[in-house]
């Protein structure tokens, strides 16, 4: 597994651990948005277009006319959204409120576009047309009684003038044609005089026509004309229900993912081997899956399972790794402790002892937890006499105190009666003599001690042991507790050989797969079939050859 895969897995693990939160949040967002969206009625949209002025009717419009029309269009677009126009439109349509609408000027034109959106297509059409009518009503082009009659009179006068102008022009052309055929000077002079009189008449008629035209709407710049009335929409434009539901689902997932990363950031517990190595600088020698139930008797010990269950295999792997950890300095006495209470150290001790005994080694378990002893319960043994009984004698001895178990080669020294001064007993010279006596009777002696940060007992015992194994409960042991534990053990110069990650989730966050793959690929401590991996085997062979070479040199 390369580094990039590991980094990617670290980013994915919080999402995998909180998969139920992601699923629940996404489902809630999807279902709620679907229920709300499916109830929404369809939305229809239509628009009406109004033109300001009549520049398009002018064959040669100038820039000033175009600019003025655009400015007027901007003004009318703003007026269309004002309250007087809204109230007038509502009054004419008999509505208490207008649907949503917008008014905009088409860029670089004199066109005003009124867009209305409503759940009723008929109402959308009526409102769009009525808003256009209200704009026309406030413009100079608005129809009225007196103004309409005045405009009609002017139009009639213009029509008459147009007829007279046309007749005068024809008369001038006829006189000019006659002039070409005359030879008499008198007739030519009379005809020219008549043409001049007709030309003056034409000029007068044209002047009158221009004066009347200025009072009409022909060619006016401040006029409004509906060039595209609103039509009845037939196809809804929204809502896009599928897009809304998918967007809600994406938002729900994103919020849940953010929450998952926030919870993971705020979570200061140790959850995987990387966390343990970062905080304590210890290698994780084993990972014990979460058993899912409390174990209180020998029959329920996982390591007694002769099969290949994940729990039993985990303790066999831990046993193998401890043997490799003790190649340079054998672990005859091993203290098993934890940073805080209720992290499963007693259960780890019992199962590890069974795993060592199953490979033919002589194993002794000593319950040095003189506050809350548990080994006698796990193995179903009486606790009338034990460790405290041996320490109270002048010459500490274990005769008659070591109790046989159902596992061949495994004996247990229970705690015995609980004393009022456990720390003094465990730190006494008698305790050190007892440790030496026990190590002489077994291949390995496992000591179950109280938590390091709770009492001084573990630190006192740690200085007397060949090694200390820390039990870290996945997702329970806090980083600060682990730091304090390492500081306490370092002060007494205890040799901490490694850690075991207990109660590792077998499913959910996938730490089991991550742990086994990570350590097999990077450290080579063990293989899946229980054989020595190549890196460990080669390292062991090199140490054996180095030892043999040194012996040969001495001899």
Q: 314-335, pLDDT tens digit by residue? A: 899 999 999 988 787 889 999 9
Q: 188-206, pLDDT tens digit by residue? A: 888 888 888 888 888 888 8
Under CATH, what is the fold of the domain 268-523? Rossmann fold (3.40.50)
Q: Is 409 left (phi over 0), alpha (psi -120 to 50) or beta?
A: left
pTM, to two decimals: 0.58
| Residues found in the chain | 555
Question: Of the given ranges (131-140, 362-371, 401-410, 465-474), which has the lowest mean pLDDT?
Answer: 131-140
Spatial separation of the C-alpha atoms in residues 238 and 100, rounded to whole Å? 14
**Residue of 458, 461, 519 whose CA lies nearest to 320:** 519
pLDDT band at 289 (very low <50, low <70, confident <90, very high): confident
**Residue of 354, 325, 348, 326 whose CA lies nearest to 336:** 348
pLDDT at 24: 94
pLDDT at 87 over 50: yes
Spatial separation of the C-alpha atoms in residues 52 and 106, rounded to whole Å? 12
Spatial separation of the C-alpha atoms in residues 268 and 434, rounded to whole Å? 39
pLDDT at 471: 95
pLDDT at 221: 63
Q: Enumerate the domain spans of the chain.
A: 3-40+239-265, 44-137, 145-216, 268-523, 528-555
Spatial separation of the C-alpha atoms in residues 86 and 364, rounded to whole Å? 94
pLDDT band at 371 (very low <50, low <70, confident <90, very high): very high
Q: Which of helix, strand or coil describes residue 441?
A: coil
Indicate the CATH number of 44-137 among 3.30.2000, 3.30.428, 3.30.160, 3.30.310: 3.30.310
Is the bond preceding residue 88 a cis peptide, omega within 30 degrees? no
């Amino acid at each position: 597994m390369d580094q990039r895969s590991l980094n990617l897995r670290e980013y994915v693990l919080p999402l995998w651990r909180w998969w139920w939160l992601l699923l629940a949040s996404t489902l809630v967002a999807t279902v709620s948005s679907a229920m709300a969206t499916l109830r929404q009625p369809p939305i229809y949209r239509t628009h009406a277009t109004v033109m300001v002025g009549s520049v398009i009717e002018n064959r040669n419009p100038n820039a000033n006319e175009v600019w003025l029309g655009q400015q007027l269009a901007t003004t009318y677009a703003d007026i269309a959204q004002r309250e007087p126009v809204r109230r007038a439109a509502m009054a004419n349509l008999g509505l208490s409120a207008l649907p949503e609408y917008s008014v905009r000027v088409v860029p670089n034109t004199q066109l005003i576009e009124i867009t209305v959106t409503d759940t009723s297509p008929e109402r959308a059409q009526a409102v769009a047309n009525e808003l256009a009518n209200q704009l026309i009503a406030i413009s100079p082009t608005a129809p009225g009684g007196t103004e309409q009659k005045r405009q009609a009179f002017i139009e009639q006068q213009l029509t008459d003038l147009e007829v007279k102008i046309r007749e005068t022009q024809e008369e001038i052309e006829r006189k000019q044609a006659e002039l070409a055929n005359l030879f008499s000077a008198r007739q030519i002079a009379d005809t020219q005089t008549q043409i001049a009189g007709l030309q003056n008449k034409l000029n007068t008629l044209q002047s009158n026509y221009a004066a009347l035209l200025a009072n009409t709407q022909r060619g006016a710049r401040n006029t409004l004309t509906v060039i595209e009335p609103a039509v009845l929409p037939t196809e809804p434009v929204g809502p896009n229900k599928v897009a809304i539901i998918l967007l809600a689902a994406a938002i729900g997932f994103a919020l849940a993912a953010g929450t998952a990363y926030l919870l993971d950031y705020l979570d200061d517990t140790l959850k995987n081997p990387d966390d343990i190595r970062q905080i304590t600088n210890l290698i994780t020698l084993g990972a014990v899956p979460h058993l899912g139930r409390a174990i209180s008797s020998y029959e329920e010990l996982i390591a007694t399972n002769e099969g290949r269950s994940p729990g039993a295999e985990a303790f066999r792997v831990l046993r193998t790794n401890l043997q490799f950890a003790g190649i340079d300095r054998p672990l005859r006495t091993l203290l098993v402790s934890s940073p805080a209470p209720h992290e499963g150290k007693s259960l780890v001790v019992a199962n590890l002892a069974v795993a060592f005994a199953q490979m033919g080694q002589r194993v002794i378990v000593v319950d040095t937890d003189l506050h809350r002893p548990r080994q006698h319960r796990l193995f179903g043994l009486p606790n009338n006499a034990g460790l405290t009984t041996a320490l109270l004698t002048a010459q500490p001895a274990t005769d008659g105190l070591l109790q046989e178990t159902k596992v061949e080669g495994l004996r247990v020294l229970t705690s015995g009666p609980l004393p009022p001064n456990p720390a003094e007993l465990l730190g006494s010279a008698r305790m050190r003599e007892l440790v030496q006596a026990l190590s002489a009777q077994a291949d390995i002696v496992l000591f179950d001690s109280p938590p390091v940060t709770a009492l001084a007992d573990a630190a006192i015992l740690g200085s007397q042991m060949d090694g200390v194994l820390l039990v870290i409960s996945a997702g329970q042991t806090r980083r600060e507790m682990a730091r304090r534990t390492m500081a306490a053990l370092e002060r007494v110069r205890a040799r901490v050989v490694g850690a075991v990650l207990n109660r590792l989730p077998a499913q959910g966050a996938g730490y089991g797969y991550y742990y086994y793959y990570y350590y097999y690929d990077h450290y080579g401590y063990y293989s899946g079939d229980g054989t020595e991996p190549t890196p460990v085997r080669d390292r062991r062979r090199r140490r054996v050859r180095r030892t043999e070479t040194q012996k040969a040199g001495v001899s």
